[in-house]
Each structure stands twice: as structure tokens, then as C-alpha cells.
Amino acid sequence: MSWQVGAFLILALALAGGFAWYERAHPDARIVALVGTLAAFAALGRIAFAAVPNVKPTTDIVLISGYALGGGPGFAVGALAGLASNFFFGQGPWTPWQMSGWGLVGVIGAAVAVVSRHRIGRWPLALICAAVGFGFTALQDVGDWVTYSDHSLAALGVYVGKGIGFDTVHAAGCLLFALALGPALIRSLSRFATRLQVTWRPAGDASGPVGDASGRAGDASGRAGDASGRAGDASGRAGGPPAPVGGAPGRAGLALLIATISLGWLAGQPSMGAGGGGVPWSRLGTAQAAATPAGYLLAAQNPDGGFGPSPGSASSPLYSGWAALGLAAAGVNPQDVVRDEHSLLDYVRGGVASASDPGSIARTILVARAADSSAVNFGGRNLLGALERDIRPGGSVGNQVNLTAFALLALRAARVGPPAAMLSWLVRQQNADGGFNFATRGGSSDVDDTGAALQALAGGGGAAGARARSRAVRFLAARQGGDGGFPSMPGGDSNAQSTAFAVQGLIAAGVDPGSVRRQGVSPLDYLRSLIASDGHVRYSRATDQTPTWVTAEALLALEAKPLPLAPVTRRHATAVHRAPARPATAPRTAGVAPPAHRPAHVRPARTRRAVVHRAAGLELDRLAADAGLLTALSLAPLGQP
């Protein structure tokens, strides 16, 4: 049994046990509704702050839910929040780790309530939230180590060490959210939970005052409160209005929390009018004028020359690099892609100093080659020398198939013959089923890394390399879905990025992707079916996310161009591609996590996703639904019975 399978079995048992614990308590229907609402609230809080990496109120909301409602409901809120939010950020092997981690946060919240006897100050609560937040993200680092590494202690140190900065940021965010809003949320949820519990007593019970569900005594006449759990007032009349728990400060605090998340969420949406500096509804989606994938990308360029995961998002080297490769595959040199006098190549060159991991270096070398620039002196840095220093004596880069495959492609792009040890090491990592894993032999084979390995092994490795290519092609053919596309992991739904890697791998191995069909549909047919009216390529039939990234990777396959790309001829100065002017938009997302499938040479992370909507009506409907959710949440704990 592999590490990954063992870990997922343990997580599955933990999740099943947690939900069984919750269900065994036979929660009241109103508690079930509250749990669902809080889970949606926690998920929306994560999505609303997607533009701020690792600063999310989700951990605080889950911990306080457990504190106010108990361990079972707290676990359910956390696990469901992780699952629900990843329908936006993308499902993957990290989902069970996040569900289990946040479920555990809810249980910890219940334990804090027991230890503190439901009496906790603002600062102790904030410090506990910070510590638990740090622990949650540290657990995700361990999950990445289990899923993607060679499972050595050295690799564990690397994963945890690299994550400390992000873990600390998350802990700081938890501290601030708890300080500002924690006590108010506790009071509101506790009051809600109290009102859902009714204690029945005989009306004439002479045993003395009877407390209601919250422990408050009845009136002087000994009469119990009414069916809503309210105690009688001082005059002996039952059912008087209850004294507010938390008072106006509690209501104001929760209202502030709701307003904060609402503003964060709305800040990630296109503006409703041009007057505010956003995109008018008539032009929703900044690249809607383009009708082809290449045209969509050209229109999505930012004023700094770079690209984000979607139009209007903050630029990053990752998305800019893939946009450069996609446009180069379509015959556009990155030097000729210009916006406000800043070219795409200028942006990539400007970020070269921060490229420290071998994956980023390899991707940048591939871009330099496509732009007909030198990798030896790119932005004042010798990228080729930096990559060669990452090659281990045994031939691997980082002891990972993914990094080694892209390093091989980069060496070929730089016109350097790769060491024989690199090709031999890569061939030895092939699994018995013919596929390749992200890390090493023994892990679950996936389509993305098999496609990358096929491109890296093209024409190399001798007889062993030829056998490996043949087996990898058979692996891909067997994993093709009925819609013609390919999933990231066997058995999953097809998506554009995995299909693109498969197509490039097939072409590199000398196989016509048009001849690989399932129910008469080829992978190219599947990709073409995902092209929207504005030219962007949808992630899958069911989801639409990170459109710039998805479109760029799909464009490589649609143009039948495996990596590395040949240099693209420069256009005449008068034919330089300039992005059309468009109103500035608030960044849709600037998160750090990968899409639903794990992409090439990117360490899996947790947080980010943006959805591009094709019509103003759909956007209005979605915002109305979000507003309804927030309204329901605000009215439920605060309204009078």
C-alpha cells in the first residue's frame, strides 16, 4: 500500500467517524439548518478573501461554531466548509486534508468551551485561534509531503520549512479576525443555540424556580417560560421578550463580520458600472470581445505586461509564463505582446530574480526560447546555470518526475544535451501501468505528469526510452473519457488542462491525437467543445475557472505544439499585438493554490480560483444568491422570535 492510499484511508475513516458522531446525536432540523448555513458562511469567507493569500476567516468561524454548538456540529461545519469552498478553488487530493483539518478545528473549539466553561476573553480566544490556525496550515504542509514527495525526512523539512511563512500569515489573520469579531460571533451563535433548545416543566411545579435552557431562573411565581424557552418576566407574565444576549455590541459585531465578508466578496466581482472604475455590465469579462483563445489572451493582458489567472487579476510569473507559451504556440512572440508600452517578455524578465525553484526556472527558459532570447543572460541572470545546479548526481531534479521532466524540456530549449542519467532516472520512475506520478515510482499515475514525461522523453533514452513512450501512450489511451477528454486522475472528470498535457504528450510520441477516440470523439474535439463565445477555454463541462491559465495551456494543444517550442519570428513593428484598453478592475483573485488538478511544476498549495461569467444575467443571479445567503445568516441569529 502506498503512502497516499494509506493516508487517504485514514482521512476517510476520520471523516466518516466525525460525521457519524454528528448524526448519532440526531440533531434538531434547525441545528442542521444552522450547521449548513455556517458551513456556507465559512466557505464564502474563504472565497471572499481569495485575493489575500492565506488570510481567511474560515478557521475562526469553524472554531467558534464548535465552541458554541459542540464538537459534532463544529466538525460538520469545518468539513463541509472545506468541501464546499473547493468547488470554487478546485477539488483535489488536498480536499480530504482540508476537510479533516477544519473538522478537527471545530472539535478543538468544543474542547475550548468545555475547558473554559463557556467563559473566554477576547485575547485568549484570539491566541487560541492563531495557534489552531497555524496548526491547520502545518497539517496541510504534511499532507503535501505525503501526497507529492518521496516521503523522506529531508523532504518533510523542505515542505514544512517552505510553508512556515504562509502558516504564520494564516495565524496572524486568525488572530486579527478573532480580536475584531470573535466574542460577538460567540454571543450570537450561543443565543441562537439557546433558543433552539426547549425545557418543558409542569406549569405549577412547586419545587422552586425553573431555569430555561440557558440556565436563567423563572419568575417569582415559579411559573416556567413558554414553549420558546423564555422565562416569565418579573410581573409573573410568561413569554415576555428575552433580554438580548450580547446586546447591541453583539449585533453590531456580527453585522460587521457579515459586512466585511460581503465587501471582500464583492471586491472580487466585476463592477456594476463604469463610473466606479470597473467594467460595465455590458462589457462583463474584460476579454469578451475576443472570439478565439489567442484573441482572448491578448485582450486579457494587464497594464504591467503580465497576466493573472483571469482578466483583471493581479499579474504573476506563473500565469504570465503560461500565457507566453500559449501565445507563442499560436505564432505570437512574447516580445510583441504589449500593453501600455510593457511587453509580456519584459514582465517575465522583470521577475526572473525571484525565480528560485527549478520549476519556475525551467518554465522561464522555455519562454525565453520561444521569444528567441538567451537563457544564459536573461534579465541579467544565467538561468541555464541555475537549472544545471539543481540536477542531482542520480539525474533527478528534486527527486520528482514533474520537475525532472520540465528540466529536460528546458535543457532542450537551451540547446543543451541532457545528461543520460536524467533520461535513465525518468524512465525508471514509470509505474507498472505505464503512467507516471508527480513524485516518483509507486505513487498513483496521473495524466498530467505522464503527458509531461512523454514530452521530456521524446526522441531520447534509447531503447528503454522507446519502450517507456509506448507504454505511456497506452496508459493515456486507456484513461480517455467518454467525452474524448482526459481526467487528471483515473476515474475523474475530464478537464481542459489534463487533456492538453495528454495531447502534447501524444504528439511528442508521434501519435496523432485525432486518432485517439472514445465513442468517436477525440481529445481535440473535447477541447474545442470547451471554447466559450468570448474565446476562453472552460476548465471542464461543469466548471469555469482560472480562464487565462486554462486557455493558455489548451492553446498549446489546439495548435498541436508540444514543448519545447521553437523560436517565434518577430512581427514588424506596425504589427505588434497590443492589448485593447479596458477599464481597470479589482483583482478577481491573487491566491496561491493550484487549479482542481495539480498542474506542472507547481508545489500544491491551498487557496485560489476565479470564475469567469459569460453574461450579466448570470452574474446578477449569483450575486443575488450570495446576498440572500448573507441576509439569511444575519437574520437567523439576530431576529426576534
* Distance in angstroms (rounded) separating the CA atoms of residues 268 and 310: 11
Give the residue-averaged pLDDT of 99-110: 94
Instruction: State the DSSP code for 391.
Output: B
* Distance in angstroms (rounded) separating the CA atoms of residues 74 and 69: 7
Per the model's pLDDT, the better-predicted residue between 575 and 439 turns out to be 439
C-alpha 105, offset from chain centre: 20
Range in 248-262, 347-361, 377-391 with the lowest mean pLDDT: 248-262
Q: For 278-346, give the secondary structure using H, E and C.
A: CCCHHHCCCCCCCCCHHHHHHHCCCCCCCCCCCCCCCCCHHHHHHHHHHHHHCCCCHHHEEECCEEHHH
The count of residues in the chain is 641
Measuring CA to CA, which residue among 118, 555, 505 is closest to residue 331? Answer: 555
Give the residue-averaged pLDDT of 15-36: 77
Give the residue-averaged pLDDT of 562-588: 62
* Distance in angstroms (rounded) separating the CA atoms of residues 499 and 59: 35
Instruction: State the DSSP code for 258.
Output: H
Range in 48-57, 153-162, 233-242, 377-386 with the lowest mean pLDDT: 233-242
How would residue 257 be classed by pLDDT, with cut points 50, 70 and 90?
low
Reduced to 3 states (helix: H, G, I; strand: E, B; else coil), residue 495 is strand
* Distance in angstroms (rounded) separating the CA atoms of residues 160 and 206: 63
Q: Where are the domains of the chain?
A: 3-197+247-269+621-638, 290-417+441-571
Residue 515 has pLDDT above 80, yes or no: yes
Residue 236 has pLDDT above 60, yes or no: no
Span 244-256, pLDDT tens digits? 333 444 444 555 4
* Distance in angstroms (rounded) separating the CA atoms of residues 172 and 213: 36
39, three cell numbers: 458551513
What is the predicted pLDDT for the residue at 291? Answer: 75
- Do residues 486 and 502 touch, judged by C-beta distance below 8 A? yes
Give the residue-averaged pLDDT of 158-184: 90
Residue 581 has pLDDT above 50, yes or no: no
Helix (H) or strand (E) holding 141: helix 122-148
* Distance in angstroms (rounded) separating the CA atoms of residues 501 and 322: 13
Per the model's pLDDT, the better-predicted residue between 403 and 274 turns out to be 403
396, three cell numbers: 533527478
What is the predicted pLDDT for the residue at 283? Answer: 33
What is the predicted pLDDT for the residue at 637? Answer: 43
Q: Is 513 exposed, middle or buried (0-12, 13-18, 19+ CB in 10 A)?
A: buried
Q: Is 9 exposed, middle or buried (0-12, 13-18, 19+ CB in 10 A)?
A: exposed
What is the predicted pLDDT for the residue at 489? Answer: 82
What is the predicted pLDDT for the residue at 166? Answer: 86
Per the model's pLDDT, the better-predicted residue between 281 and 632 turns out to be 632
- Do residues 508 and 468 touch, judged by C-beta distance below 8 A? no
Per the model's pLDDT, the better-predicted residue between 23 and 620 turns out to be 23
What is the predicted pLDDT for the residue at 351? Answer: 87
What is the predicted pLDDT for the residue at 224? Answer: 36
What is the predicted pLDDT for the residue at 201? Answer: 54
* Distance in angstroms (rounded) separating the CA atoms of residues 67 and 208: 31
Span 323-339, pLDDT tens digits? 999 999 999 999 999 99
Per the model's pLDDT, the better-predicted residue between 165 and 172 turns out to be 172
Percentage of the residues of the chain whose pLDDT score is greater than 70: 73
Measuring CA to CA, which residue among 143, 160, 58 is closest to residue 109? Answer: 58
* Distance in angstroms (rounded) separating the CA atoms of residues 577 and 333: 9
439, three cell numbers: 513524485
Phi, psi of 337 (to 5 degrees): -95, 105
Give the residue-averaged pLDDT of 523-531: 94
What is the predicted pLDDT for the residue at 189? Answer: 85
Give the residue-averaged pLDDT of 563-577: 74
Residue 10 has pLDDT above 50, yes or no: yes
Span 583-628, pLDDT tens digits? 333 333 333 334 444 444 443 333 333 333 333 344 444 544 554 4
Q: What is the mean pLDDT of the chain?
A: 77
Fold designation for 290-417+441-571:
Glycosyltransferase (1.50.10)
Residue 198 has pLDDT above 80, yes or no: no
Reduced to 3 states (helix: H, G, I; strand: E, B; else coil), residue 223 is coil
What is the predicted pLDDT for the residue at 213? Answer: 38
What is the predicted pLDDT for the residue at 91? Answer: 79
What is the predicted pLDDT for the residue at 607? Answer: 33
553, three cell numbers: 495551456
* Distance in angstroms (rounded) separating the CA atoms of residues 80 and 116: 26
Is this structure's pTM higher than 0.75?
no
What is the predicted pLDDT for the residue at 572? Answer: 56
- Do residues 53 and 592 touch, judged by C-beta distance below 8 A? yes
Contacts of 589 (CB under 8 A, 6+ apart): 50, 51, 268, 308, 309, 310, 313, 608, 609, 610
- Do residues 292 and 522 touch, judged by C-beta distance below 8 A? no
How would residue 53 be classed by pLDDT, with cut points 50, 70 and 90?
confident
Q: Is 146 exposed, middle or buried (0-12, 13-18, 19+ CB in 10 A)?
A: buried
Span 536-555, pLDDT tens digits? 999 998 888 899 999 999 99
Residue 284 has pLDDT above 60, yes or no: no
CA torsion, ordered 489, 495, 501, 507, to nearest 10 deg: 110
Residue 463 has pLDDT above 80, yes or no: yes
